Structure 1
């Protein structure tokens, strides 16, 4: 199977996983719900890991194809950093979602109510130095562009490590919301990219 065909199947499976994540009870009100949260978060992370595993194999066979990413739209490719998403994007997404939810809950928060979502990120969670660690690793990668396969593998490991660090940092409910938000961003960019490419083809 070509990587392009794998990606199309993988992308459809991601949509199904996100649908499952979107349907879980939130907040968790029982041990069963909490266990379900953890299982689905792990399922999503494992699915992402599988993408990078297969991508690594494809890169060893045809590194230039992986960098050019013909399975992506022109919009997606314009946003790429070393053949994928920029790791700091995940932190921007967390902070944005947290701010939106915090503002929407501000009255309840002042009353002492908590929802356990990304709007309830604690100072301790926000103070974790994951972002600094990721930025440091990015600088290390950008100085070694001569070995494309090695660079790609390091970049993808960094992307995976970013997700793992964030999921570890967040509660299961917050991790679900992060995974849903990041997938919706990915879906939206792809949808816009497909529409844009179609318009270019007809003009």
Structure 2
């Protein structure tokens, strides 16, 4: 009997230690949740402060998004200058060597914006993916933070005639491979969104009770980890865009590449102009 009683006392003591450890875990989780709520509150206050001095679209994005928007504006200004230089060279029937120099310069300039987007995504991947740095009309055609390569190739195939059979075949193959890569990335994004939805749904219900604070924090930590893959999706999409432009240049002649860059620029300019016209339309 004495042995059983001592064993019972020992079990109770172990249970008490376990309970105290569990209480301590809950207290730590409560403190972390309180800290998170305070950080969110500070972020909201900072967003309100920023929104009083800059556009509302940047209010919660922070300095990283605003800096990228300014970099993109400078990039676009330089891009337009280079396009005007290319247009003048084409209209003046410049030689291939002169055209190639301007084309290569524009291609290098495209690489620069892809690098800038990658850096900006580290600060605010949502801002870059959503295309808030673009005009409203451009955002309508946005795919993972930029243009869809297969659609760009479809546009060029109708604007650069005449093309040789070999060129047509090369563009068709490039369009098919681009479409396959786009589909794979799109499916990956859909799977990520579904996984995020399931993770967040797992923290609903009685998450307001003290006993579920640890579970709530665990679910949110999992969701944050999954969101980290968004940068990878954006990087892969931009790599696909860059490779498409490079492959396009290999398929086309120098003069055709120059015309292709002009077509791409003119199309983007029309989208931006459409946004301006839409916003300036009479509103009844």
Give the TM-score of the pair, scaled to structure 2.
0.59
State the match for 1:164 in structure 2.
Answer: 246
Cα distance in structure 2, aligned partners of 1:25 and 1:48: 20
**Correspondence for 2:255 among 148, 173, 181:** 173
From the superposition, tell whether residues 199 and 36 of structure 1 become closer, same or farther in structure 2 (CA, over 3 Å): same
After superposition, the C-alpha distances for 1:37-60 in whole angstroms (9 at most, x for unaligned) are 111111111111101110110011
Mapped contact 1:74–1:197 kept (Cα < 8 A): no
Mapped contact 1:18–1:180 kept (Cα < 8 A): yes
State the match for 2:22 in structure 1.
Answer: none
State the match for 2:97 in structure 1.
Answer: 35
State the match for 1:137 in structure 2.
Answer: 181
Cα-Cα RMSD: 1.9
SS of the aligned residue for 2:281 comes to helix
From the superposition, tell whether residues 193 and 25 of structure 1 become closer, same or farther in structure 2 (CA, over 3 Å): closer
- 2:232 aligned with 1:150: yes
After superposition, the C-alpha distances for 1:135-170 in whole angstroms (9 at most, x for unaligned) are 121122112213211111111111111111111100
State the match for 1:107 in structure 2.
Answer: none
- 2:266 aligned with 1:187: no
- 2:65 aligned with 1:21: no
Match runs of 1:67-78 below 5 Å: 67-78=129-140
Mapped contact 2:185–2:233 kept (Cα < 8 A): yes
State the match for 2:75 in structure 1.
Answer: 10
After superposition, the C-alpha distances for 1:98-123 in whole angstroms (9 at most, x for unaligned) are 3xxxxxxxxxxxxxxxxxxxx23100
From the superposition, tell whether residues 88 and 27 of structure 1 become closer, same or farther in structure 2 (CA, over 3 Å): farther
Residue range with higher mean Cα deviation, 158-167 or 172-181:
158-167
Instruction: Give ranges in structure 2 of 5+ residues lacking alignment.
Output: 1-65, 193-228
Mapped contact 2:111–2:242 kept (Cα < 8 A): yes
Mapped contact 2:148–2:241 kept (Cα < 8 A): yes
Residue correspondences, number: 179
SS of the aligned residue for 1:2 comes to helix
State the match for 1:111 in structure 2.
Answer: none
Q: Which has the larger radius of gyration?
A: 2
State the match for 2:24 in structure 1.
Answer: none
Cα distance in structure 1, aligned partners of 2:188 and 2:115: 22
Mapped contact 1:125–1:170 kept (Cα < 8 A): yes
State the match for 2:126 in structure 1.
Answer: 64
